[in-house]
Structure 1
């Protein structure tokens, strides 16, 4: 007797609980790129297709925060952590990027950069424009470093 398993189908049904994703990445440009790609993949799995506005916006926020972690928060030999949380009501995504450097707090993100045409210096301002809330908090596990948290209302 053989048993046939039905094919696994992706369901786009809302979950009754919050969804979470968390992973550590090397503090390199390659690690930042992988964080961005996995965030986009996770959002797709949660029901926000790759080319949707939600997926593209959250992925952009992850890209900016991960790039800052590897550029400004890098400590050789230490990873950064990305965490994504989708609320149970599916109306809020929280992005957290934790690095291990606490001696370089981010600048005030609410002010626009002095030169909007510059190739650098706009990342946190862009995140502050896309997110409903941005804050910097100490690492939650007591280690050295900080967590930059951005909440996006969907």
Structure 2
């Protein structure tokens, strides 16, 4: 789905992920739903905060790649702002409200990465997560 590059767009994207996972059999308060929703929240927040281009939206895709494995993909149109392959420990103040998003994604997801957007400017940040049986 496509969302506006605004805090409201990020919030709606996060809610969509939670609803979709609930529909796929992972209730709202389950660890799988909460973990994948948090991963989506961090990736969409980064798209809104660090990669907005006026008039251009971000895209979110949630897929089930295997019976218990899910992939969250967030695509934006900003090519020059790429994340570090392995985020360094945050130098943010312990009370800071930002600066730890990719550290959380790295800690929660099985794998994550960044790929160039096909046939258009931008990039896709993706993360996979396998639900424990």
Indicate the residue corresponding to 1:62 in structure 2.
40
Give the CA RMSD over aligned residues.
1.2
Indicate the residue corresponding to 1:40 in structure 2.
18
Indicate the residue corresponding to 1:99 in structure 2.
76
Report the Cα offset of residue 111 of structure 1: 2.5
Number of equivalent positions: 130
Report the TM-score when normalising by structure 2: 0.93
Q: Which of 4, 11, 27 is the matching residue for 1:49?
A: 27
The structure that has the greater radius of gyration is: 1
Q: Give the structure with the higher percent helix.
A: 2
- Report the Cα distance in structure 2 between the residues aligned to 1:120 and 1:110, rounded to whole angstroms: 14
Provide structure 2 residue ranges, at least 5 long, that are not aligned to the other structure. Answer: none
Report the TM-score when normalising by structure 1: 0.80
The worse-fitting range, judged by mean Cα deviation, of 128-137 and 109-118 is 109-118
Report the Cα offset of residue 120 of structure 1: 1.4
